[in-house]
């Protein structure tokens, strides 16, 4: 199926892209790698009159060590994140998530900023950035705004980004020597999106969990931190018994509305959340 007719604009700078967004308002959509927007346009789920291409803007592709955190340009492709020695050393969770996105073609074209701004409930990065306690930088005509990741994902395909803002940078704290992280998912066999994905970051002190961050994607309308699993592990040793007990609480929040579709029922997704919480935590335990 073909998209509805639209006018194509190639922005040469962030300022030019912002000017075009201001000019065309709700009739405009940004495109970077195209793997989120174009499928929706082909299905007529999105029909923007103006498409603003920001892929070739200089300065949006980078991974930099800034001391307390790693800065990732929003235009950085998945393959670059997957292969980054800096991220593998200081925040491997992002590299692990990037490595299981789609296929090599998608990883070379798709961008982290495009994926996060699209906020697909089954995308891999949302769980990873939540568990990493990232901060996201949005740029608008009035300047930059730093958004804590827990405030970024609002609802299904909805973020805290204003329609006249561009996501320009992702900041992820570097892990400490006594911290390990992992991302595991059950991929849809056709799309490779996560039916359920689990990201975990665990810090150990005196052989007990001093900090635990567990986040899921694919389960609900937006990625989320699972405080039930986190609380069950805090101050506990990371053993098979403690992991089993904590994982059994995954996706059990009464306020959580679990997704259901032709591929996975609500009960099956809840079951997978427990399975992949256990697998992810066991992977971390074996890394200590």
Say yes or no to pLDDT of 38 above 90.
no
Percent of residues, the chain, with pLDDT higher than 70 = 100
Express each pLDDT in 87-112 by its tens digit: 999 999 999 999 999 999 999 999 99
Predicted pLDDT of residue 58:
86
The answer for 173, left when phi > 0, alpha when psi is -120 to 50, beta otherwise, is beta
User: Counting beta carbons within 10 angstroms of the beta carbon of residue 71, is it exposed (0 to 12), middle (13 to 18) or buried (19 or more)?
Assistant: middle
Say yes or no to pLDDT of 49 above 80.
yes
Q: Which of 30-39, 68-77, 185-194 has the lowest mean pLDDT?
A: 30-39
Cβ atoms of residues 276 and 196 within 8 Å: yes
Q: Which domains does the chain have, with CATH numbers?
A: 7-53 (3.30.43.10), 63-173 (3.30.465.10), 179-287 (3.30.390.50)
In the chain, DSSP assigns E strands to 7-10, 28-31, 50-53, 63-65, 69-73, 135-140, 143-148, 153-155, 158-159, 166-173, 179-187, 194-205, 208-217, 224-225
Say yes or no to pLDDT of 23 above 90.
yes
Locate tokens 């990732």: which residue?
72
- How far apart (Å, rounded) are the C-alpha atoms in residues 60 and 214? 29
Residue 45 — very low, low, confident or very high, per pLDDT cuts 50/70/90?
confident
What is the pTM for the complete model shown? 0.95
Cβ atoms of residues 149 and 169 within 8 Å: no
């Amino acid at each position: 199926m073909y998209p509805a007719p639209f006018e194509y604009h190639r922005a040469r700078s962030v300022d030019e892209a912002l000017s075009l967004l201001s000019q065309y308002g709700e009739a405009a959509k940004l495109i970077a790698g195209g793997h989120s927007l174009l499928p929706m346009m082909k299905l007529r789920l999105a029909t923007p009159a103006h498409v603003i291409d920001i892929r070739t803007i200089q300065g949006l592709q980078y991974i930099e060590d800034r001391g307390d955190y790693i800065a990732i340009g929003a235009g950085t492709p998945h393959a670059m994140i997957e292969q980054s020695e800096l991220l593998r050393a200081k925040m491997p969770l992002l590299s692990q998530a990037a490595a299981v996105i789609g296929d090599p073609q998608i990883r070379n074209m798709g961008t982290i900023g495009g994926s996060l701004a699209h906020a697909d409930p089954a995308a891999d990065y949302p769980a990873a950035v939540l568990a990493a306690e990232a901060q996201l930088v949005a740029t608008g005509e009035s300047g930059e705004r730093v958004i804590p990741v827990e405030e970024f994902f609002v609802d299904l395909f909805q973020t805290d980004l204003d329609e006249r803002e561009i996501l320009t940078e992702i900041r992820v704290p570097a892990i400490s020597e006594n911290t390990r992280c992992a991302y595991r998912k059950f991929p849809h066999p056709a799309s490779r999106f996560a039916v359920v994905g689990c990201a975990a970051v665990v810090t150990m002190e005196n052989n007990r969990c001093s900090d635990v961050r567990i986040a899921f994607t694919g389960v609900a309308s937006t990625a989320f931190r699972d405080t039930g699993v986190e609380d069950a592990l805090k101050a506990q040793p990371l053993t098979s018994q403690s992991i089993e007990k904590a994982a059994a609480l995954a996706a059990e929040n009464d306020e959580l509305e679990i997704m259901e579709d032709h591929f996975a029922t609500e009960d099956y997704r809840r079951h997978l959340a427990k399975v992949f919480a256990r697998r992810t935590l066991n992977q971390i335990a074996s890394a200590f």
